[in-house]
A and B are shown apart, each in its own frame.
Chain A
């Protein structure tokens, strides 16, 4: 039910994120989703890729500090108010979100939200109880 996201620590210096991208390109890794969280001094690149183990190995072999993090992908209608409905629902059940990012599916009918929850197991139960669709790793990596 959960899927694997890669988190990479990057120092705040020119070209560092590009190095991550280059390494993944050279390793023929396809990036499904990417987001960069930054502070003044450092950033965390979060990635959903088609081959998690290979991508992690490439990054670590090249001295990057990289982690395998569990996140949850949720499919919602690509329509106004969808995000709001999901968050309301989670809020009512006291599900705490650490961070989230989203993107629209190619068809234009669905959108996908990636969540990092404080308590992922609890979150998954709440989501399922409310009939929302969770995407498996396989589905997402293949998108």
Chain B
């Protein structure tokens, strides 16, 4: 650990009564809440009533958590088909907030919340904030977008519930972010990891040093990121960075959060049941093996989901965590099943490319993957920004470095990419989720 990182209070737990619950008690609670959710859905939502009837699932027939596997999966398409309110399990008068997914992969999906849902959400976000080091003494700068996206409001109410002071700055205007951060003495930053990296660069450009800030913790989520990115963010902002996970379809941020061990995200199992399945066979994978995360909400009122296929790839960690929380941990999400690229028959996640790139010294964590067809074959081009210090006016050295990057990626990915160096800062920075992959293989012509 970087010695510049300030010492923090001993790891506090927001709600030890639940977060440190013994496993059997958690299972009993989950079963009770699952049965309750299933009966409410049968009663109130025609879609689930039919699905469960066809699968011969009744509340009485659920006797153990293994019976969960008799319930059919719910997919994003199911949510889209019932756009906007078809899966609502309460009358609209009980709904107090409506969010929606970003719609990056199609029509948005709508997520209504009851008052109780908002309370639960704030509680879970308070847990993840405290797990990431935040207490009532902190000043939390929320640089997630406020709006239909769940990030801004989700973290906002959780931080208030915790008792921290919130700066609801929302995303964008990076210079102003830094100025406010400095002037207001923000101690914790909440945003996407790619935006945190970007803020680190702006900080350097503005000539502000991380020691001029009061920042101690960063809580990042909303997109997959790598350990190398964590190292870079921690260094550039002088903070401890933790990961948190959630998705709007099941609630938003607050499904799982990393503690200061920085080694896996605790899943808040008193509110969600998680499974890991093989994305193609849909069978459960052995414990600890990577696969697609499936989530059942067991306390949601307005729009519960049963066995929702998140398309996120992760695995569970078997070891108990030294922090004292008993909830099992999942590793950082490695990618999405629909992000998976099949290049010349090799399965590749963009996050693997990123991880491999960052292992080469001098490569900046800003890159793009461009896929084209050359004849019948796939061609992968990786555009990376060249750090200024690596530029030389001698072509042979530039080529030497290029070959070094190619051979490293070759080793790690079993693919030979073409590396193209681009000018520093030329790859677009975004406040939200960044687009890394440009796949022109199904288009006529070779793309740009």
List A residues at the B interface (Cβ < 8 Å). Answer: 5, 7, 9-11, 37, 39, 41-42, 44, 46, 63-65, 67, 69, 98-99, 116
18 A-B pairs besides A63-B425, A99-B395 with CB distance below 8 A are A11-B421, A11-B422, A11-B426, A37-B395, A39-B398, A39-B399, A41-B420, A42-B398, A42-B421, A42-B422, A44-B395, A46-B393, A63-B424, A64-B423, A65-B391, A67-B391, A67-B393, A99-B394
- Per the 8 Å Cβ criterion, residues 262-315 of B in contact with A are none
Cα distance, A5 to B392, chains bound together (Å):
12
Decide: A98 and B394 in contact? CB cutoff 8 A.
Answer: yes
Decide: A9 and B386 in contact? CB cutoff 8 A.
Answer: yes
Decide: B395 and A65 in contact? CB cutoff 8 A.
Answer: no
Contact residues in A for B338 (Cβ distance below 8 Å): none
Cα distance, A42 to B422, chains bound together (Å):
8
Which one of B388, B391, B393 contacts A116 once the chains associate, using CB atoms below 8 Å? Answer: B393
Contact residues in A for B394 (Cβ distance below 8 Å): 98-99, 116
Decide: B395 and A9 in contact? CB cutoff 8 A.
Answer: no
Considering the complex of A and B, which 6 residue pairs feature the smallest CB-CB distances, nearest first?
A: A7-B393, A41-B420, A69-B393, A65-B391, A9-B391, A65-B388
Cα distance, A17 to B388, chains bound together (Å):
18
Distance to closest chain A CB from B300 (angstroms): 48
Distance to closest chain A CB from B129 (angstroms): 37
Which one of A5, A7, A65, A116 contacts B423 once the chains associate, using CB atoms below 8 Å? Answer: A65
Cα distance, A63 to B388, chains bound together (Å):
10
Candidate in A44, A65, A67, A98 with the most chain B CB atoms within 10 angstroms: A65
A sample of 29 inter-chain contacts (CB < 8 A) reads: A7-B393, A9-B386, A9-B421, A9-B423, A10-B423, A11-B422, A11-B426, A39-B395, A39-B398, A41-B420, A42-B398, A42-B420, A42-B421, A42-B422, A44-B393, A44-B395, A46-B393, A63-B423, A63-B424, A63-B425, A64-B423, A65-B391, A65-B424, A67-B392, A67-B393, A69-B393, A98-B394, A98-B396, A116-B393
Contact residues in B for A46 (Cβ distance below 8 Å): 393
Candidate in A41, A64, A116 with the most chain B CB atoms within 10 angstroms: A41
Contact residues in A for B386 (Cβ distance below 8 Å): 9, 65
Cα distance, A43 to B80, chains bound together (Å):
48
Distance to closest chain A CB from B97 (angstroms): 42
Contact residues in A for B425 (Cβ distance below 8 Å): 63
Cα distance, A41 to B419, chains bound together (Å):
9
Cα distance, A41 to B422, chains bound together (Å):
9
User: Which chain B residue lies CB-closest to A60?
Assistant: B388
Cα distance, A44 to B420, chains bound together (Å):
14
Cα distance, A116 to B393, chains bound together (Å):
10
Which one of A5, A7, A41 contacts B421 once the chains associate, using CB atoms below 8 Å? Answer: A41
Contact residues in B for A9 (Cβ distance below 8 Å): 386, 391, 421, 423
User: Which chain B residue lies CB-closest to A63?
Assistant: B425
Distance to closest chain B CB from A101 (angstroms): 12
Cα distance, A36 to B425, chains bound together (Å):
22
Contact residues in A for B422 (Cβ distance below 8 Å): 11, 42
Contact residues in B for A39 (Cβ distance below 8 Å): 395, 398-399
Cα distance, A65 to B398, chains bound together (Å):
14
Cα distance, A67 to B424, chains bound together (Å):
14
Interface string of B379-410 (1 = CB under 8 A from A): 00000001010011111101100000000000
Distance to closest chain B CB from A12 (angstroms): 8
Distance to closest chain A CB from B46 (angstroms): 55
Distance to closest chain A CB from B330 (angstroms): 39
Contact residues in B for A7 (Cβ distance below 8 Å): 391, 393
Distance to closest chain B CB from A66 (angstroms): 8
User: Which chain A residue lies CB-closest to B426?
Assistant: A11
Distance to closest chain B CB from A68 (angstroms): 10
Distance to closest chain A CB from B427 (angstroms): 11
User: Which chain B residue lies CB-closest to A68?
Assistant: B393
- Per the 8 Å Cβ criterion, residues 422-437 of B in contact with A are 422-426
Cα distance, A67 to B423, chains bound together (Å):
13
Distance to closest chain A CB from B102 (angstroms): 30
User: Which chain B residue lies CB-closest to A66?
Assistant: B391
Distance to closest chain A CB from B384 (angstroms): 11
Cα distance, A113 to B359, chains bound together (Å):
41
Contact residues in B for A37 (Cβ distance below 8 Å): 395
